[in-house]
Amino acid sequence: MASLIDLTAFAPQARRFLTELEANNDRAWFSANKQRYDSEVKRPAELMIAQITPELEILSGDLPRPKLFRPQRDVRYSDDKQPFHTHLHALWSLPDGRAWYFALSKDYATAGAGILAFDGRRMLAWQAALMGPEGDELERIIARSGARIDPAPSPTSEVPPGPRAKLMRRPGCVLWIDDIYEDLAPDPVATLLQCYTRLQPLQDWLGTRL
């Protein structure tokens, strides 16, 4: 079955489905189009993820755990009762918190790498590393990547004063390469691996310093 899936059609088909889902975000529509979701979104995404996983092991030296997020939303405690996400999210994670990310919707397509949220120990290690020469190295990595950094600094985080105080206040560090949709259609696997290779210096820095 996997050999019959054309990954060159994955990005446009998935975006088209997600666009229609946003306009018809209810269980009846999704149920009527579940076969389309499986054939146009889920199975191609699973194949893409499976092909990327061993390549990330080669790139990083560690075998990541892949995950394709379910489309169903948990609406129990949300004011927004729409039952489905209108984006596709996938990640490949390592036990130390580092991960590679992929997100696609009707409005964006992006690939990222890093740690989305530091635990207490890594937050202390992050701040300590930024106070030394390792901080210079990280700033060069960020600048050379040309990528967007996230999440935003926490305004309530108390850190030592200095030129990297803003970086120290970040509760995580992920670099994102945005606007990759046009490159996904010809070969999504190659495009994402190019992004992850470009972002690997951050992964190496985080893996060594934290």
The per-residue pLDDT for range 152-193, each reduced to its tens digit, is: 999 888 888 888 999 999 999 999 999 999 999 899 999 999
| Alpha-carbon gap, residue 17 to 194, rounded angstroms | 26
Q: 148-175: buried (b, 16+ CB within 10 Å) or exposed (e) per residue?
A: ebeeeeeeeeebeeeebeebbbbebbbb
Number of domains in the chain: 1
Q: Is 3 a residue whose pLDDT tops 80? A: no
Beta bridge partners of 67: 91
177 within 8 A of 199, measured Cβ to Cβ: yes
φ, ψ dihedrals at 163, nearest 5°: -70, -20
Question: Which pLDDT value is given to residue 157?
Answer: 85
pTM above 0.85, yes or no: yes
Domain carrying residue 140: 2-209
Q: What integer pLDDT is reported at residue 15 of this predicted model?
A: 98
Query: Token pair of 59, please?
Result: 């790139």
Distance CA 40, CA 19 (A): 13
pLDDT of residue 76: 81
pLDDT value of residue 137 = 98
162/25: higher pLDDT: 25
pLDDT band at 1 (very low <50, low <70, confident <90, very high): very low
What is the tens place of the pLDDT at every residue in 115-148? 999 999 999 999 999 999 999 999 999 999 999 9
Q: Do the bridges between strand 148-150 and strand 173-177 make them parallel or antiparallel, or are there none, so unpaired?
A: antiparallel
CATH code assigned at 144: 3.30.930
8 A C-beta contact, residue 151 and residue 167? no
